[in-house]
Amino acid sequence: MDIKAGKYLKQITFPEDLRKFKESDLPEISKELRDYIIDIVSVNVGHFGASLGVVELTVALHYVFNTPDDQLVWDVGHQAYGHKILTGRRDIFHTNRIYKGISGFPKRSESEFDTFGVGHSSTSISAALGMAVASRLKGDKNRQHIAVIGDGAMTAGLAFEAMNHAGVENSNLLVVLNDNCMSIDPNVGALKEYLTDITVSHTYNKVKDEVWKLLGKISKFGPNAQEIASKVENAVKTTLLKQSNLFESLRFRYFGPVDGHDVNRLVKVMNDLKDIPGPKILHVLTVKGKGYELAEKDQTKWHSPGLFDKISGEIIKPSSNGPQPPKYQDVFGNTIVELAEKNDKIVGVTPAMPSGCSLNIMMKAMPDRAFDVGIAEQHAVTFSAGMATQGLIPFCNIYSSFMQRGYDQVVHDVALQNLHVVFCLDRGGLAGADGPTHHGAFDIAFMRCIPNMIVSAPMNEQELRNLMYTAQLPETNAPFSIRYPRGNGVMPEWKTPFEKLPIGKGRMVRDGEEVAILSLGHPGNFAVKACEELEKEGLLPAHYDMRFAKPLDEELLHDIFSRFKKIITVEDGCLMGGFGSAIGEFMMNNNYSARVTRLGIPDRFIDHGEPKELYDECHFDAKAIKEAVRQAIGEAILV
């Protein structure tokens, strides 16, 4: 790939090279870094707006702090492209998110500059505090620990748990709050209003200038810095307590807001802050998508735009002949509106993913009945549970991997009370280029072991609609999980009439002989393809779309285990404890004996790549199913 770094950037392999430049060169270096990100992401796909927004911040952080000895922790990590480029990965950045290439998120195994593996949000303050306390216990007073967290990520409970703890730990922690007023969609909630207030407050800005004047003197005072710092603190407090500062209340010293695109100003401020001990927060104002006009204007679209022409700004969609099947998420988004029009008990809940899961369709159509609660999966679940106690039927849509964070709430607040909450788990299965932090590998296993929970997965759009329809019927009245993958389904004509599905019942897709393939969810389509191709070879396995991992269709399974001695299970989820395990348990419990081959995600974390590359690696695509059938039948011949 012939993308060249600019004249400064090409001299920077590691931050120590950056630190050799004069401060006056930093604006130009920032410009080159931004151009390099635009050049590569436009042809390579990836997160875009977030990294552009923190270019100056990234340059300033690596210029001022002695990384990697000083510990820099990025929250979520989707904004860390500039960091990757400045920390030894410039020349391999074109492999970002590509199979076997570098990860789209900071990853400890990839670089010593990636101090903490991320992907899920709001972990940075806890992790950096842990590092800071470790340094203190080791007697290292000089090491700096910096968490960079967005205003979206700051909405999560985890971030506040960490702030609450950090306020009483006398550790060297700097939280940089990167405030761009955006999550993926516009940020929501009272904290956002508070940050806006503090940003525009005249009183505050006046004080702030005085504080900076004082801070400017600190470096000259050397050992007396602490004394000056406490004067600074008092100056802030006496004036600010009038309007009460949330962060000050949590015993953080609050500094800012500062223009996050003024790299020289950032360098000066950070140099000053280095000398102030204890927990500090620096509020930095940035613009998501900065420097690429279209991304600044439509920040949600340009969060992760796909391929685009960087000159015209056109987002390039893959060409297609004829009507294409819709994305599963859009089937969810449109279907919930259709159902909610008929059933006024239905409400929709998303923790900060309205456009990612398409609940934005309902938010537009029925703003009073659809809630974006911020990056707050735990709250999303318990909030849904609360509404369910009052007879509402919440559809709580959470990406499978983010649901991990709401697990106790699913068990304790929903299932234990047998509340009628419908969980729609988007991105169930291998999620692709986002990699192991985002794969929805575990939900079948972790939902299946919870009493009262109904666990289902549709094989196509029609089944998704019918499962959603069935889930909201009053007689269902139980926690109900429906998981479906990222991306497109298989039915261009997807808007089929609703039909009630019997809970815990599967269906035969094709009858056959010798081998039975039992699939759960979308991988049933891989089985259909495998069966069609095997038929040409004269092999005729039967195929069943089981739909439910719990309750299992025991009647159908008795029939299958009586007729077949070779069973293959297929799922886009972890093998340990998943759907195949459920079939194995059924076999044991009922004293059947059969040769069961389980295809699915093995017991290791799967890296990033195109879904088809990952299905191949994990061995549960059509090719793998064909091989498994041939092997089963071949063995039969040998016997």
Ligand X SMILES: Cc1ncc(C[n+]2csc(CCOP(=O)(O)OP(=O)(O)O)c2C)c(N)n1
- Return the active site residues: 288, 377, 405
Q: Amino acid letter at 581?
A: S
Contact status: 300 vs ligand X (CB under 6 A): no
Q: How far is the CB of 278 from ligand X (least distance, A)?
A: 24
Nearer to ligand X, 16 or 161 (CB): 161
Does the footprint of ligand X cover residue 153 (CB under 6 A)? yes
DSSP 399-452: EHHHHGGGHHIIIIIIITTT---EEEEET-B--STT-TTT-B-SHHHHHHTSTT
Angle between helices 202-221 and 225-240 (to 10 degrees): 170
Separation between Cα atoms, residue 589 and residue 552, nearest integer Å = 13
Binding status of residue 486 toward ligand X by CB under 6 A: no
Candidate ranges 22-30, 93-101, 148-156, 238-246; the one touching ligand X (CB under 6 A):
148-156
Give the number of residues in contact with ligand X, rule: CB under 6 A.
21
Gyration radius from the chain CA atoms: 27
Q: Hey, which residues between 383 and 402 contact ligand X (CB under 6 A)?
A: 402
**Under rule CB under 6 A, residue 285 binds ligand X:** no
Q: Which is nearer to ligand X, 171 or 304 (CB)?
A: 304
Long-range contacts of 311-318 (CB under 8 A, 24+ apart): none
520 touching ligand X, by CB under 6 A: no
- Of all residues in the shown chain, the one whose CB is closest to ligand X is 150
Distance (Å) of CA 544 to CA 459, 510, 522, 524, 578: 11, 7, 12, 8, 17
Q: Is 329 in the site for ligand X (CB under 6 A)?
A: no
Q: Is 436 in the site for ligand X (CB under 6 A)?
A: no
Q: Which long-range contacts (CB under 8 A, 24 or more apart) does 595-598 make?
A: 595/565, 595/566, 595/567, 595/632, 595/635, 596/567, 596/568, 596/569, 597/566, 597/567, 597/568, 597/569, 597/628, 597/631, 597/632, 598/568, 598/569
Q: Which is nearer to ligand X, 172 or 382 (CB)?
A: 382
Q: Is 382 in the site for ligand X (CB under 6 A)?
A: no
C-alpha 60/C-alpha 267 separation (Å) is 5
The answer to the question of residue 102 lying near ligand X (CB under 6 A) is no
Interacting stretch for ligand X, rule CB under 6 A, among 71-79, 210-218, 491-499, 618-626? 71-79
Cβ closest to ligand X, residue 396 vs residue 552: 396
Q: Comparing C-alpha atoms, which of 46, 38, 30 is closest to residue 303?
A: 46
CB of 412 to ligand X, least distance (A): 19
Of positions 177, 184, 207, 229, contacts ligand X by CB under 6 A: 184
352 binds ligand X (CB under 6 A): yes
Window of 62-70, 72-80, 108-116, 385-393 that interacts with ligand X by CB under 6 A: 72-80
- Residue 57 corresponds to which tokens in the numbers above? 């911040």
- Measured distance CA(204)–CA(197) in Å, rounded: 9
Within 34-53, the residues that bind ligand X by CB under 6 A are 50, 53
Angle between helices 55-64 and 263-274 (to 10 degrees): 40
Nearer to ligand X, 50 or 501 (CB): 50
Which position among 34, 253, 274, 288 is part of the footprint of ligand X (CB under 6 A)? Answer: 288
121 binds ligand X (CB under 6 A): yes
Could you list the residues that contact ligand X (CB under 6 A)? 50, 53, 76, 78-79, 120-121, 150-153, 180, 182-184, 288, 352, 375, 377, 402, 405
